[in-house]
Structure 1
Amino acid sequence: MTQVLAGVLGLKDHVVLKVRNHADVNVFDVSKLEGHMPETVYDFIFGASRFIQRAVSYKNNICNRTLVLQDDELTGVCRGMILRSQG
């Protein structure tokens, strides 16, 4: 998301990396970047399905100062939130 779009959505403290801002940071190895075929997973309530497409090469995903993904594996920690329309 760009800073302009974040401003339109009312997310003034998102997108720009600076102290006290909310941020998701992805670190990946571009030389190892590859995608997998889309697959169907059944992990929603009552067995509902969804499509996912995994990627390889993610070293880290940091969400609000917490390591969420390391070496292509989820750490089990969830720090995100649902963003709802302000209008």
Structure 2
Amino acid sequence: MSSESKNAASITEADIGTYAFEIDDYSSKIRNIGVGGFVRSDTFTVGGLDWAIRFYPNGIHEGSKQFVITTLELMSSNAEARALCPQTR
């Protein structure tokens, strides 16, 4: 087996889901949480796996502190998955 074959990934199953993450009280406490600080959504299920959204209002590190960043976090233990979050405007 070539090294190319060993590293190739294949999708055996795909699921699509949506989740609305609303922050009700976006006060200065959350808005100024600091670099690396985040708010986590409730856990939700897509494709039989549990996920959560992390919302960083002041970026993840100093180089991103001028940006609002969201990430998708796999909450299911002992699971491996890949996720794609399309950009919307």
TM-score norm. by structure 2 comes to: 0.28
Report the structure number with the largest CA radius of gyration. Answer: 2
TM-score norm. by structure 1 comes to: 0.29
